[in-house]
Homo-oligomer: A and B are copies of this chain.
Amino acid sequence: MSETKTDDVGGWFSPEDFAVVRRRMPILYVDAIPVLVDADGVIQRIALLLRTPREGGISRALVSGRVMYHERIRDALSRHLDKDLGPMALPRLPVSLTPFTVAEYFPTPGITPYHDPRQHAVSLAYVIPVDGDCQPQQDALDIAWFTPEEVIEPEVQQEMVDGHGALVRTALACTGQLV
């Protein structure tokens, strides 16, 4: 998913060097689930990014990306939310950085629900209410908003990449909003 993201690795490693590093070390990520909440804090909608991968079809994804050297987790979250939802999204960063789950993405499928063929990534996952206006950026065609009921439907789950379907279901359960 992030292959089309420029985390601007060149500032830190050449693409060749980073290709070596990501086959030898776990890479730290953050995953963010953008949500609309009502006045009581209850999740009303979940945002999924729509993309058309080179290999065809469509895929849906959450906001996801690397933590950079000397970057606070809060800054990484903020940067990736801005990058994927645009500057008017007004995300509400959490008071506590304890993630609702730690998603371990292995290059080998089946060890966990999470899979990333490019690397071993370990991601801290957060539910992030957004107050503003989200606009698709860069490589995303659209941002679609699903109710909790819709997002767990098999058709939607199947379009989600890398285990993001399981991540959304985990988020709903951990926030007590399992449907």
Contact = CB atoms under 8 A, between A and B. Distances in A.
Contact of A24 (B69, B74, B127, B173): B69
Interface residues of A, number: 59
A1 B69 contact: no
A94 B174 CA distance: 12
A41 B71 CA distance: 16
A21 B28 CA distance: 13
A96 B127 contact: yes
Interface of A: 1, 12-13, 21, 23-28, 35, 37, 39-43, 67-75, 78, 92-102, 104, 106-108, 111-113, 120, 122, 124, 127, 129, 166, 169-170, 172-176, 178
